[in-house]
Amino acid sequence: MASLIGFYSLIFGLCLSFIIIFYSVRNFKDSMVFDNKIIFSTFLQFFFVIVSFLGLILSFVYSDFSNETVFNNSHTTKPLFYKISGTWGNHEGSLLLWLLVLTLFIFLFLIKSKDQSKKYRILTLLFQQVIIMGFFIFLIKTSNPFNYIFPIPKEGLGLNPILQDPALAIHPPILYLGYVGSSIIFSSTLAATSLNYISKEWAKHLKQWVLISWIFLTLGILLGSVWAYYELGWGGFWFWDPVENVSLMPWLALTTLLHCILVLEKRLTLTSWVVILSISTFTLSMCGTFLVRSGILNSIHTFANDPERGLFILIFLFCLIFLSLFIFFFFHKNNDKNVDSFFWLSKETSILVNNWFMMYFLSVVLIGTVYPIFLEVISSEKISVGPPFYNKLIIPFLIPFLLAMAIGPKLKWIKSDLQDKKYLILFFIISFLLSIFIIKILNINFLLNTILVTSAFYLFFITLRDFFTKKFKNLSQNISHFGFSLLILSILFNNIFSNEIITNLKVGETFQSEKFKINFENIEKRNDQNFLAIIGKLKIESLNGNIETLRPEIRIYNQPNITTSEADIKTNLLTDKFMTMNFIQNQDYFNIRYQVKPFMIWIWFSVLIISFGGLLSLLQKRYEN
């Protein structure tokens, strides 16, 4: 029943797209005032998608296996929480969620943009409706979440247990808010370009949307990373896996856009940058969806999928790209009045430098991600691009990037002289000495690390100082930059000071290394709702006599029959102690991995600080208005 309502709501939603387009086109030509019918129909469309989404959730909650999506992804023994999160843990449901966010955002956009010109609002709506219709058709044609199966199965196939994790339950919605938020930026930029509407006020208005999707994208990536750390049991937080990369690329573009739009708002330059970045942010998000959903990528996260869907997204994606190229080249007039009128040492230059760095990082990630696809098509050679590629190309360039981040905000618009040079240099010397001290004391002699730590410390101190000296003029920017320096520092220390032991142990055996003694005391079994857990008890004695007991788990899920490892992690402010256990069928030995990872929690924390900076900027905006 719920499925049926859900399906018809989808059809109604699609029909409303036509009605909205009809009203909008009429309104665009005729009257001077914005037709309220449009807002009403947009709301109605949003409402229908919500009903459809709720219908799917209900089908999941009541385990209605006559629905194919539920049958494929749920099971009666699954806890309620994961039944609900299972709704968007699969292809069909996640696309419905896309659609939900798309309609929600355009509705919010119409409400929030009352002070903008009528034509601009309608044109944005029209572009957005093109995207919405694309997704409606995609959903109904190739991945209908409400397919009916008969005869009705008694039991579902279950959700991949690796997805049964709290962080991953909320990861897709948050990430989609970011991805889809960029669609509003895309449509309104196209609208503004074709109407030649780009102005300082427009930048101010668009900035809110950039900030919103930037915050959600940042948090979404964070959640994915947290999930990888806790659930995958590899003891890392970023693996340069293609699926991770496709979420990073829109983030890089969006971050650059955020900086450009600040310039646009204040100085009305860099308009071409803003237009191109707005287009590419959304294109990259769509491209990410395509790469992940079509199964074209060879990634550890790939799940078996249907090529027909890939083809649809691909064609749709390129239609959007060509549409935006067309609009850009035919309508965009570079009305940068102030072009060339800024001095080389100014805020504009520093932001431009920042842009070029970001573009460089973006192209590195992009090339690393799609190169294997190209090579396979052209030469049918199968390859993969590993972390060393990214590390080698990105890490050295972080140094000037960090330094520019520290100095850039100190500069003034148009033309600037460095003031307070003394303390800038002083801080640099302090950071340099501090990092040499740290690196020496721990006997790690590596030039690159020293310089990197130096520049990260530099940014750290400079932003820290600003908290105390500056009035709250640019607080949000300072917070985010501070968070970024903290992030880089934590990642660096985490990499440099991590310790790892991987060994195979039988129950009762003891492993002795230079730094720890690991004693595998016993195992016990526990039956849970939908899995059997084997819990190991391992005692770790470090050199200075500290004893810690860790209890990693192996979970054997009943449906689908999959084994996963649950890491046991002891977290405190300075270090994480991380242990996973695994076994191979018919073997006595257990595969044990013990890691000491310093500053893990600071990595999560600093990303939160970064996005908090964005949030603050958004709230300030509201306050001013």
Partner 1 sequence: MRIKILPLFLVISFLFIFFIFFKGLQNSNIYSPDINNEKDIPFFETKILNTNDKVNSKEIFISDKFYLLNVWASWCIPCKDEHPYLMDLSVQNNIEIIGLNYKDNDKNAKNFLKNMDNPYKVIFLDKDGTIAIEWGAYGVPESFLIYNKRVIKKIIGPLNKNSYSEIINLIK
Partner 2 sequence: MYGRKVKLRFFFVLLILITLILSVYLILKSLEENVVYFQSPTEIKILPEIEKKKIRVGGMVKNNSLSMGAKEIKFIITDFKNEINVIYSGLVPNLFTEGKGVVAEGYLKDKNFFLATKILAKHDENYMPPEVKAALEEK
Q: Which parts of this chain interact with partner 2 (CB under 8 A)?
A: 160, 162, 232-234, 298, 300-304, 340, 356, 360, 363-364, 367-368, 371, 381-386, 388-389, 392-393, 502-505, 509, 560-565, 580, 582, 584-589, 591, 593
Among 111, 325, 418, 574, the residue binding partner 1 under the rule CB under 8 A is 325
Among 155, 417, 500, 528, the residue binding partner 1 under the rule CB under 8 A is 155
CA-based torsion, 596, 599, 602, 606: positive or negative = negative
From the list partner 2, partner 1, none, which binds 318 (C-beta under 5 to 8 Å, kind-based)? partner 1
Closest to partner 1 by CB, 52 vs 66, is 66
Answer yes or no whether residue 8 interacts with partner 1 by CB under 8 A: no
Closest distance of CB 555 from partner 2, Å: 9
Number of residues that bind partner 1 (CB under 8 A): 31
Q: What Rg value do the Cα atoms of the chain yield, rounded? A: 26
Q: Which residues of 183-195 are buried (b: 16+ CB within 10 A; e: fewer)?
A: bbbbbbbbbbbbb
Closest distance of CB 282 from partner 1, Å: 15
Place of tokens 């994915």: 224
**What tokens does 319 get?**
């239609």
Among 166, 173, 295, 598, the residue binding partner 1 under the rule CB under 8 A is 295
Closest to partner 1 by CB, 298 vs 338, is 298
Q: What gap in Å lies between CA 374 and CA 105, rounded to an integer?
A: 35
CA 101 to chain centroid, in Å, comes to 16
Closest distance of CB 293 from partner 2, Å: 14
Options 25-33, 116-124, 314-322, 335-343: segment touching partner 1 (CB under 8 A): 314-322
Classify residue 506 by burial, with Cβ atoms within 10 Å: 0-12, 13-18, 19+: exposed
Among 32, 33, 80, 329, the residue binding partner 1 under the rule CB under 8 A is 329
From the list partner 1, partner 2, none, which binds 329 (C-beta under 5 to 8 Å, kind-based)? partner 1
From the list partner 2, partner 1, none, which binds 586 (C-beta under 5 to 8 Å, kind-based)? partner 2
CA-based torsion, 219, 222, 227, 232: positive or negative = positive
Kind plus residue range of the DSSP H or E element containing 566: strand 563-566
Closest to partner 2 by CB, 166 vs 295, is 295
Options 16-24, 149-157, 173-181, 264-272: segment touching partner 1 (CB under 8 A): 149-157
Q: Which residues, 6 or more positions from 540, have their beta carbon under 8 angstroms from its beta carbon?
A: 516, 517, 518, 519, 547, 548, 549, 550, 577, 579, 594
Place of tokens 């330059």: 269
Options 28-36, 239-247, 320-328, 614-622: segment touching partner 1 (CB under 8 A): 320-328
Contact between 306 and 147 (Cβ < 8 Å): no
Among 68, 306, 336, 548, the residue binding partner 1 under the rule CB under 8 A is 306
Closest to partner 1 by CB, 155 vs 588, is 155
CA 247 to chain centroid, in Å, comes to 5
Contact between 209 and 346 (Cβ < 8 Å): no
Closest to partner 1 by CB, 3 vs 575, is 3
Answer yes or no whether residue 138 interacts with partner 1 by CB under 8 A: no
CA-based torsion, 438, 439, 444, 450: positive or negative = positive
Q: What gap in Å lies between CA 209 and CA 324, rounded to an integer?
A: 19
Closest distance of CB 385 from partner 2, Å: 6
Answer yes or no whether residue 380 interacts with partner 1 by CB under 8 A: yes
Q: What gap in Å lies between CA 101 and CA 591, rounded to an integer?
A: 43
What value, to the nearest 5°, has the Cα angle with vertex 182 and ends 176 and 185?
Answer: 155
Please report, as ranges, the residues that interact with partner 1 according to CB under 8 A: 151-155, 290, 294-298, 302, 304-307, 310-311, 314, 318, 321-322, 325, 329, 373-374, 376-378, 380, 561
